[in-house]
Amino acid sequence: MPKGYVIARVDITDPEAYARYAPAAAKAIAAHGGRILARGGRHEALEGAARARNVVLEFDSYDAARAYFHSADYQAARALRAGAADIEMVLVEGA
């Protein structure tokens, strides 16, 4: 079964609020069987505009990744991030 990947590109606008979001999101990721493959770290734009922070999460399937995003625990974490970042997030099916 193909895996599911959540890819987020983030510019943090309120570091204090984002700091409250991050551990709550990590807890939700773990609770749903997700693994953090990349979080922050060195990066460069190869094409298009870059964001300051990039995150790649891996789940056992597309459906598992989708269930994580829509779960009550992640939505509660997401509420902590409201107004703290400009973010693009996509769900991708992969190998």
Which of 15, 94, 93 has its CA nearest to residue 52?
A: 15
Which pLDDT does position 95 carry in this prediction? Answer: 85
Instruction: Summarize pLDDT for 1-59 with one digit per residue, the tens.
Output: 899 999 999 999 999 999 999 999 999 999 999 999 999 899 999 999 999 999 999 99
Report the C-alpha gap between 65 and 29 in whole angstroms.
9
Which pLDDT does position 7 carry in this prediction? Answer: 97
Please tell me the total number of residues recorded for the chain in this structure: 95
Average pLDDT over residues 84-95: 96
The CATH number fitting domain 3-94, selected from 3.40.50.300, 3.30.365.10, 3.40.50.720, 3.30.70.100:
3.30.70.100
CB 91 within 8 A of CB 5: yes
Instruction: Summarize pLDDT for 49-72 with one digit per residue, the tens.
Output: 999 999 999 999 999 999 999 999
Query: CB burial class (10 A; 0-12, 13-18, 19+) of residue 54?
Result: middle
Which pLDDT does position 1 carry in this prediction? Answer: 84
**Amino acid making up residue 22:** A
Q: Where are the domains of the chain?
A: 3-94
Which of 85, 83, 75 has its CA nearest to residue 55?
A: 85
